[in-house]
Amino acid sequence: MADLHVTLPSGTELALSNAGTPFARHLVILCNPREVTGFVDPDPVVTARHPVHLVVIDPLVTEGGATVTPEQQADAIAEYILEARQTVARTGGQSDLDEVGVIGWGTGALVAASVALRHPEVVGKVALVAPDLGVGAAALPTVATGPSTGTVDDRLARGLDRDPDMGVVSDEGADSIADRWAKGPASAAWVLTVEPERTADDEGTSDLQWATDALVGSWDRVLDHVQQPFQEGEDR
């Protein structure tokens, strides 16, 4: 479950979890799949090697757990980033929020792609890990239960314990987002896509567990990418 709820100026309420280094220079947004909330840090040891403040933004907090479209979630994330920029400007903080990294994994890639498409002015580098830009909910994996021992499965198990006030990101508009993304001019310098080949050993593994393994296995590479500033001559 999320660490805290934040109410934005528009009245939208976001559920957030924090990891990494508070007040670090680089802000990185992690967009969860629709099945997961508060999966805070894919690999804390790796994250500690990077000067990033990792913010996991879950589906919007709604009345009665109503559905939320990826575009609504993307708009709320953009508003959060803009509000954070204003806060840093007022307080004289050292964070560099001109180029915020955005990561989406599994069906969370729909939200990350929506942020990049709808609000490129707030986005730096983007990473999509095991992206599911199609429609249809993935099956939930079998995960550990009981007290946490700090393993990936334990963290994922806690992420499946949904806040009853939290919405669920729907498939609405998924085809349109995927189509616009495919037609976009996204360059390799801007977007890193990590999509490991599924082998025979992966048979019986759920889409969500496969995406989790891909995220953990590529986490160092993903963080390297999203915290890098654009260089002269690089295009989105």
pLDDT over threshold 50, residue 154 = no
Check residue 236 and give its pLDDT: 54
Minimum mean pLDDT range among 25-34, 58-67, 116-125 = 58-67
Check residue 148 and give its pLDDT: 32
Minimum mean pLDDT range among 69-73, 121-125, 165-169, 197-201 = 165-169
Check residue 77 and give its pLDDT: 93
CB 28 within 8 A of CB 226: yes
pLDDT-derived band of residue 171, with 50, 70 and 90 as boundaries?
low
pLDDT-derived band of residue 219, with 50, 70 and 90 as boundaries?
very high
In the chain, the domains with their CATH numbers are: 4-226 (3.40.50)
Over the stretch 30-56, which tens digit does the pLDDT of each residue have?
A: 998 877 777 778 899 999 999 899 998
Give pTM, 2 decimals: 0.77
